[in-house]
A and B are shown apart, each in its own frame.
Chain A
Amino acid sequence: MSNFLTSSIGKKFLMSISGIFLMMFIIVHLSINLLLIFDDSGDLFNQGAHFMATNPAIKIMEPVLALGFLVHIIWSLIVSFQNLKARPIGYKQLNNSKSSSWASRNMLVLGCLIFVFLVMHIIQFFWKIKVTGDPLLAHVTVGGEEMENTYALVSSLFKASLIYSLIYVLGGILLGLHLAHGFWSAFQTIGFANKIWLKRLQFVGTIFAIVIAIGFSVIPLYFQIKF
């Protein structure tokens, strides 16, 4: 096992496993977030957010999630750097649009843009909720239980700023593009594919990417249009 993680397939294996883990996180994250648009009083989302913040299972998963992000990001840089070294002199003329998708060739670029988005996103929400606090987060009582008004923090940003809303729509689209290649690629890497399953996974991956992109984009648009 010693050099497994430094072998080309071992490195990809880590990318794949961390990627699948992050995709599961994304599904949970989107599910909770969609509560934002189904109850304009905010109670539903506040309850969802409160559950996520206090649930012991989620508390355990939080550092694991951070680790998942770190592994996925750091290994992507290692993999990309080594792949770059494999072709010291490039081609003068490249015509690769016929043989591969743009997203598949630009996973690093998409990843970097998503990372920039992620940093902004953490500063705007996670950091305020967990560390610095914010006047908008003043406690509310839902169903007899006192909790932070996370709904106010999120909804007021999207209601107030068209620019930020559009950035969040863009973030959803970038993530969708990343997943359009990443989903089936992750399964291909762990060896879960053959001629038939490859097509199925690519189909499911495309649907998954579209659902994620539209799901996240619809939230800021909802607040922009309705309020």
Chain B
Amino acid sequence: MEKTINLTLKVWRQNGPKEKGRFETYQVSNISTDSSFLEMMDILNEQLVGENKEPIAFDHDCREGICGMCSLYINGRPHGPDEDITTCQLHMRKFKDGETVTIEPWRAAAFPIIKDLIVDRTAFDKIIAAGGYVSVNTGGVPDANAIPIARPAAEEAMDAAACIGCGACVAACKNSSAMLFVSAKVSQLALLPQGKVEAKRRAKAMVSKMDELGFGGCTNTGACEVECPKSISIAHISRLNREYLKSRLSE
């Protein structure tokens, strides 16, 4: 049987990057507990359009938890009160009838607000551009077994590659550190023979870009790992530290 709930929403509204923001309070009623959080936001926006008000700007794309586009800091946690999911996978059954829900954008100097709940995450792209790739001519498809890779390494590289670059790690971190993201992007290549060739240059370039963009440093609180929708392990951060130290000490 379908259940519905009524909610009070406190939403961060900000007209533009340089404008002053503020919280606005909205009421939504008869929200199905089977709907997703973003569908609830859609219902609210329909309501706002009906009242001739500006709808709330928020990021979303695939709505099946793989693109990393949706963000939102809900009730004090990135992607809201559930584990290992993105906001589009968050169900309204996680909320109680009559609850007040606070919705904020990711907060970080490196992620400036564009409008309302949308932040500019191109800083992540800049870090990738600094070295998160393998620069070789790929040519044709090589034989499957031409390069032997141990299964544990393949598995760990694949786990790191699950990162969707949503930025929840930065949002969750008390220092707005991007270390989990950078470590996943360094790990997925450093573990494989194809990526080892440029490992030193990559770790150094990506970390220095990360610092330059104004992300904080890692203090190993572990909050990123818990809030990561793809459960990327902080063991990758230790690998990044190792790769970076190896790179710098061999200069």
Contacts and interface: CB of A to CB of B under 8 A. Distances in A.
B244 interface: yes
A100 B177 contact: no
Interface stretch (A82-90, A133-141, A164-172): A82-90
B217 interface: yes
A86 B223 contact: no
Which of A90, A100, A105 gathers most chain B CB within 10 Å? A100
A190 B241 CA distance: 6
A88 B222 CA distance: 21
Contacts of B245: 9, 13, 190-191
Interface in A64-117: 79, 82-83, 85-96, 98-101, 104-105, 107
Contacts, number: 149
A83 B217 contact: yes
Contacts of A92: 10, 12, 23, 102, 104
B181 interface: no
B251 interface: yes
A99 B207 contact: no
A91 to B, nearest CB: 6
Contacts of B108: 86-87
Contacts of B207: 7-9
Contact of B241 (A82, A91, A188, A195): A188
Contacts of A60: none
Given A98-B226, A99-B77, A194-B238, A10 B107 contact: no
Interface size class of A (residues with CB under 8 A): 35 or more
Most A CB atoms within 10 A — which of B23, B172, B174, B177? B174
A83 B219 contact: yes
A44 interface: no
B220 to A, nearest CB: 4
B218 A8 contact: yes
Interface of B: 10, 12, 23, 73, 75-77, 81, 102, 104, 107-110, 156, 172, 174-177, 179, 207-208, 210-211, 214-223, 226-227, 233-235, 237-246, 248, 251
21 contacts: A1-B248, A7-B248, A9-B218, A9-B240, A9-B241, A12-B217, A79-B219, A82-B217, A83-B217, A85-B214, A86-B108, A86-B109, A87-B109, A91-B76, A93-B104, A100-B222, A104-B220, A190-B241, A191-B246, A193-B235, A195-B233
